[in-house]
Structure 1
Amino acid sequence: MSRDHVARGKPTRRKYLTYGGTLAGSALLAGCLGGSGDGSADPTERPTDEATTTDDGTTTTDGTDPYTVSMAPVGEVEFESVPENWVAYDGGYADMAVALGQADGLTGVGNAGRYYTYVYDELPGVEVSRGTVEANPEVRTKEQFYALDADVHLYDPQMLVNWFDWGEADVEEITENVAPFFANLIFRRSDEWHDYRYYTLYEAFEKMAQPFQETERYEAFAEFHDEFVASLQTRLPPAEERPSVFLTYEGTTEPETFSPYRLVDNGTSKKQWRDLGVTDALAGTDIENLSTSNRNELDYENLLEIDPDVMLVRGHERKSPSEFRDTVLAYMEDHPVGRELTAVQNGRVYRGGFLYQGPIQNLFLTERAAQQLYPDEFGDVTGDEELFDRQRVADIVTGEF
């Protein structure tokens, strides 16, 4: 497929990117196409012999003719050719682009501190430039978007509005003068401002495949994922024998309080735990999920009332399993109240996984979770047993499928 596009710097450069639909909670952007903003509107079709229409109504081509894609909250976005360069806010969307074979197009990340690229080290031929990531690790201002001059921004614009004090006019400005936004904040579902459609991990991944015209690669990945998860689920113990799990965030090595996550929240950051059928230790309580508006924390006395079988602590993904045990778990074992927790007494306190995860990362995190929760069935989490075929994943990413 052709990836040629209008040369940079010429007056017509931005004609091939137009932005339409609505932004949730805001008026229609001036000059935009109409649309419901929920990703379900039929796109504007353009007559061409090469055009095809996907099941969700998105018009795609072989890359030589304009095509339209849609996703809440941005609505319809038209591309004249496949984007070559991209910026992603979080590691989940960056990982989606890498899975679609677009690693070379990465120009920056909005939150590089939580983009864990070490998983690619286990996939032959798959590489992401840490130099590029570290050169532009917090892309959040209009000036940075202008400087990077990417072809598409994998950001939910409403996140910029609600987290970084952008106005709707700022979103429109960057859309018109640089490139469109195309993403939806999906890692959790507890933010009041997110009053538009959510997507599952693979629904969002399918959406990401459309601007890059990589639907076949997405389908190969989805097939592999489904086979992998199904193979694990056939080996799970009965529900009544599965551990109760408390998922939390606490980034210090000497934790005194813990921010709670609810596993019943259908955000993508908890996908592996749902796929493995765990019981939320907070079930039946009125404790709310961590969100923009809820920053409540639990202390050790609160945890003793819950007393989970397993504790999963986020904020330590750059530690090895042994480093985590020698710091965080060791501190909890010495704590006068923490040592009374069942999970601490049994040594079942583990790293809690990535806040943002894409399809490649999810495979590794699901493997890790299975071994954390069911070591008798899947092997110890510190062992060498692999539960999925790394080479097959690498082949999909590199186009050998």
Structure 2
Amino acid sequence: MSDDRDHHEAPTRREYVKYGGAVVGGSLLAGCGGQFDSGSTPAETASGGAATDTSTAADEGYSVTLSPVGDVALDTVPESFLAYYPISAGAAVAFGHGDSINAIGYDKQLFGNTVGYYYDSLDGVEFEWGDLGRVTPSGNPNTLDKELLYELDSDIHFLDPCLLRSSAFGWDTEDLSRIEADIGPWFGNYYSRTNGQPPQGCRKDYEYYSLWEYLGKFAAVLQEEERYREFKSMHDDLVGRITADLPPASERPSVAVIAYTDGTFWPYDFTQQGYIWNHLRPFGMTNAFTEAGIDPSSDGSYDYEALVEVEPDVVLRYWGTALGETFLENRSEIVDDALADDVPAFRNERYYPSGYGMQGPVMNLFQLEMTAKQLFPDRFGEWPTYTEGGYPAIPPEERLFDRQRVVDIVDGDF
């Protein structure tokens, strides 16, 4: 299954295979449905776009411009909204508006673990996901409950209407217009995730944003540009320190990013464009599958013998941080295989849980720190052995960013 196709990421088959068929909370995604990306796509815009020129304030309200929805007019800062993906939920919490989330898009425990994994490491900052509703039925995550949208009565829906027009959902423009007119506007840019091709009817003038440009748009909606600038400054400082201390490309380990279940590995092309790989891109790593002549963007699954051929120095389990016991069980299964010693990453105990691409500001900081330690422990400090759920405790002197500053920004104390 190609990772460069933009079907509904409420999680795709790749993300669900990690459960071996059983999904947390009982939901199940039987296969990959949705709009495939095809052909060439524009390169990602330069990282670092500030939250400027995105909103115009006036006494009677303000507006925020985002492709593909255009100018979104708001009378006041939204007090309730659907945060369909972790990126919008993470942005809301980081910018001090977590209490305004009224629903999420898919399996509650998986969603909560994805965001809470990082926020649980911050004293006084919480992501309260347990009581949130979800707008997709457990049996079919690609079905959005329109009636529930009316019950929620959100001030704004953080979801790309072009995604809803894709084959994953099959909505028409009338559906979208009715929800917008009756309840509240749409606001999302899903296809910047991989700079993939949106469905017909959305392709003309669709713009792609880097992660921090996109986060700046959420900040503009919430009128939290100052919080955004503080987080952006932390991000830029962290990336600058990381890139300044990287070894030459020839001395960097080869990396495989995979999903796994029951002896089968699915590779990801983490060198592709889009904000999904923002936590890996600064490290300039080579893809071990590509080096072995295997296309990691193809719809392919591979057995252990293929991993022996690929010989990755490091293996990262995409979305592994949200799996808890499931990751630990799968890791034991992998390293106990008779061929484990023939794979450098497994032989040297360099198989790690990795992050998730739909990441808010706080998630991005943690995931950059995590990746730096997993790839270059001699330069950024060892990544602690992962023995239980939750972001492991990092001694203060080994942290790559200031946790208290994050808490202060969320609290508005800066």
Q: TM class by shorter-chain length?
A: 0.7 to 0.9
Partner SS, residue 249 of structure 1: strand
Match for residue 8 of structure 1? none
**In the alignment, does 2:302 pair up with 1:298?**
yes
The one-letter code sitting in structure 1 at the alignment partner of 2:164 is: L
Match for residue 35 of structure 1? none
| Contact 2:135–2:145 (CA under 8 A) maintained in structure 1 | no
The one-letter code sitting in structure 1 at the alignment partner of 2:381 is: G
The match for 2:401 among 380, 385, 388 is: 388
**CA deviation profile, 1:248-282 (whole Å, cap 9, x unmatched):** 122x3xx4222221121123231121112222223
**In the alignment, does 2:238 pair up with 1:228?**
yes
How far 1:101 moved relative to its partner? 1.1
| Contact 1:329–1:347 (CA under 8 A) maintained in structure 2 | no
Match for residue 117 of structure 1? 116
Partner SS, residue 258 of structure 2: strand
* Aligned counterparts, 1:30-179, within 5 A: 57-61=53-57, 64-111=59-106, 112=108, 113-114=110-111, 115-133=114-132, 135-136=133-134, 138=136, 140-162=144-166, 163-179=168-184
Shifted more, 379-388 versus 80-89: the winner is: 379-388
The match for 1:213 among 203, 223, 231 is: 223
Distance 1:379 1:339, change over 3 A: same
Instruction: Choose 1 or 2 for highest CA Rg.
Output: 1
Structure 1 unaligned segments of length 5 or more: list them: 1-53
Distance in 2 separating the partners of 1:192 and 1:338: 40
The one-letter code sitting in structure 2 at the alignment partner of 1:173 is: R
Distance in 2 separating the partners of 1:189 and 1:247: 19
Distance in 2 separating the partners of 1:66 and 1:116: 31
Partner SS, residue 125 of structure 1: coil
The match for 1:351 among 353, 358, 364 is: 353
| Contact 1:368–1:381 (CA under 8 A) maintained in structure 2 | yes
Distance in 2 separating the partners of 1:190 and 1:213: 29
TM-align CA RMSD = 2.5
| Contact 1:190–1:265 (CA under 8 A) maintained in structure 2 | no
The match for 2:189 among 163, 179, 184 is: 184
How far 1:128 moved relative to its partner? 2.1
Distance in 2 separating the partners of 1:277 and 1:151: 40
| Contact 2:194–2:272 (CA under 8 A) maintained in structure 1 | yes
The one-letter code sitting in structure 1 at the alignment partner of 2:134 is: N
The one-letter code sitting in structure 2 at the alignment partner of 1:393 is: V
How far 1:86 moved relative to its partner? 1.1
TM-score by length of structure 2 reads 0.75
How far 1:107 moved relative to its partner? 0.4
**In the alignment, does 2:282 pair up with 1:287?**
no
The one-letter code sitting in structure 2 at the alignment partner of 1:136 is: R
Distance in 2 separating the partners of 1:351 and 1:198: 28
The one-letter code sitting in structure 2 at the alignment partner of 1:239 is: A
How far 1:164 moved relative to its partner? 2.2
How far 1:124 moved relative to its partner? 3.0
Identity of matched residues, %? 36
Shifted more, 385-394 versus 139-148: the winner is: 139-148
| Contact 2:51–2:213 (CA under 8 A) maintained in structure 1 | no
Structure 2 unaligned segments of length 5 or more: list them: 1-49, 138-143, 385-392
The one-letter code sitting in structure 1 at the alignment partner of 2:283 is: L
Distance 1:399 1:230, change over 3 A: same
Match for residue 258 of structure 2? 248
| Contact 1:324–1:350 (CA under 8 A) maintained in structure 2 | no
The match for 1:270 among 266, 277, 294 is: 277
**CA deviation profile, 1:3-40 (whole Å, cap 9, x unmatched):** xxxxxxxxxxxxxxxxxxxxxxxxxxxxxxxxxxxxxx
How far 1:353 moved relative to its partner? 1.3
| Contact 2:279–2:357 (CA under 8 A) maintained in structure 1 | no
Distance in 1 separating the partners of 2:327 and 2:184: 45
Distance in 2 separating the partners of 1:107 and 1:170: 21
The one-letter code sitting in structure 2 at the alignment partner of 1:395 is: D
Match for residue 364 of structure 2? 362
Higher RCO (CA 8 Å, separation ≥ 6 residues): 2
Distance in 1 separating the partners of 2:244 and 2:314: 22
| Contact 2:313–2:345 (CA under 8 A) maintained in structure 1 | yes
Partner SS, residue 380 of structure 1: coil
How far 1:167 moved relative to its partner? 2.1
Distance in 1 separating the partners of 2:195 and 2:300: 17
**In the alignment, does 2:248 pair up with 1:238?**
yes
How far 1:390 moved relative to its partner? 0.5
**In the alignment, does 2:384 pair up with 1:379?**
no
Distance in 2 separating the partners of 1:223 and 1:55: 12
Distance in 1 separating the partners of 2:338 and 2:51: 58
Distance in 1 separating the partners of 2:308 and 2:145: 43
The match for 2:317 among 300, 313, 327 is: 313
How far 1:168 moved relative to its partner? 2.1
The match for 2:213 among 195, 203, 213 is: 203
How far 1:122 moved relative to its partner? 2.3
**CA deviation profile, 1:292-350 (whole Å, cap 9, x unmatched):** xx643222233233211111112432345xx5775223212232344421111111111
How far 1:227 moved relative to its partner? 0.9
Distance in 2 separating the partners of 1:318 and 1:208: 24
Partner SS, residue 298 of structure 1: coil
How far 1:288 moved relative to its partner? 4.5
**CA deviation profile, 1:76-127 (whole Å, cap 9, x unmatched):** 1111111111111110111112111111101011134234223112223322
